[in-house]
Structure 1
Amino acid sequence: MAVDSLDTRILRLMIEQPRTSVREYARLLGVARGTLQARIDRLERAGVITGTGPRLSPSALGHPVLAFVHIEVTQGHLDEVGEALSAVPEIIEAFSITGGGDLLTRVVARDNGHLEDVIQQLIQLPGVVRTRTEMALRERVPYRLLPLVESVGRDASAAR
């Protein structure tokens, strides 16, 4: 979906000030509330805006250890293993991938021993052949989308 400069400004505000009301967004942007709401609704329908809930910190929830676990799966069992992963609360993301392994999971744990327990649980899943774990040491670039939103907005403006 192409976003224009107003969409980009709306998304920037929603990222930078997520607790602000639609009325206040409209005031800050200098547009009618109805216009703003129509834009937000369109961005939601297009799947650009996928949620508005709070971002939570696994570390603050007592799970400061972060690891990326690659999982190799027996051929034909990818869907089954993927479904089984959803039952493991310490897995906060999982992706099917190309390259070394079939799945890449983002796993959080209380400590290294807990991480080992989670990995042992993964190894026991039917269809899992092996795992490979990489520990995260320090976050270098936090999850962010604003630079991408601004880039897409600039590209859309330049195309006109």
Structure 2
Amino acid sequence: MAVDELDTRILKLLIEQPRTSVREYARLLGVARGTVQSRLDRLERDGVITGTGPVLSPAALGHPVLAFVHIEVTQGHLDEVGEALAAVPEIIEAFSITGAGDLLTRVAARDNGHLEDVVQQLIQLPGVVRTRTEMALRERVPHRLLPLVEAVGRASLSP
């Protein structure tokens, strides 16, 4: 799906001012409200915009410990382990990966003891061979997409 310069400007506003109305976006962009709404609808339909909910802080929810757990899986059991991971509330994300391990999960825990309990729970899942845990010390670059949106916008202006 091609994202043009107007799409980029709309996405930038969504990131910078997520609580603003479509009418206000249209005013700021100098285009019709219907144009902005149709662009937003298309961006959602094409999977560029994947959600509109609030971004929550695991730390503020009482889970300040962040760790990345690599999981090695018995061959042929990746799907069932992935489904089992979805039942563990402390797992924030899980990805199939290349390299060392088969899955990479991001885990939020209340404290180190709780993290150990979660890892022990993962080890017990059928199909899990072993895990390796790395704890995050400090966030250096928070989750962001604005620089990517801006780069895509610059690329859309190139001939």
TM-score class normalised by the smaller sequence: over 0.9
Q: Cα offset for 1:153?
A: 1.1
Deviates more, 1:1-10 or 1:129-138: 1-10
Alignment partner, residue 130 of structure 1: 130
- TM-score (structure 1 length as normaliser): 0.98
Structure 1 SS opposite 2:158: helix
Q: Which amino acid aligns with 1:74?
A: T
Q: Determine if the alignment matches structure 1 residue 150 to structure 2 residue 150.
A: yes
**In structure 1, how many angstroms separate the alpha carbons of the residues matched to 2:3 and 2:156?**
6
Structure 2 SS opposite 1:117: helix
RMSD: 0.6
Query: What is the aligned length?
Result: 159
Alignment partner, residue 89 of structure 2: 89
- 1:31-50 equivalent positions in 2, closer than 5 A: 31-50=31-50
Structure 2 SS opposite 1:133: strand
Q: Which amino acid aligns with 1:18?
A: P
Q: Which amino acid aligns with 1:30?
A: G
- 1:68-87 equivalent positions in 2, closer than 5 A: 68-87=68-87
Gaps of at least 5 residues in structure 2 are: none
- TM-score (structure 2 length as normaliser): 0.99
Q: Cα offset for 1:118?
A: 0.1
Q: Which amino acid aligns with 2:5?
A: S
Deviates more, 1:20-29 or 1:92-101: 20-29
Q: Which amino acid aligns with 2:76?
A: G
Q: Which amino acid aligns with 1:125?
A: L
Q: Cα offset for 1:37?
A: 0.4
Q: Cα offset for 1:157?
A: 1.0
**In structure 2, how many angstroms separate the alpha carbons of the residues matched to 1:5 and 1:146?**
14
Alignment partner, residue 11 of structure 1: 11
Gaps of at least 5 residues in structure 1 are: none
Q: Cα offset for 1:110?
A: 0.2
Describe the superposition over 1:55-108 as per-residue Cα deviations: whole angstroms up to 9, x where unpaired. 000000000000000000000000000000000000000000000000000000
Q: Cα offset for 1:156?
A: 1.3
In the TM superposition, structure 1's runs of 4+ consecutive aligned residues that sit over 6 Å from their partners are: none
- Percent of residue pairs identical: 87
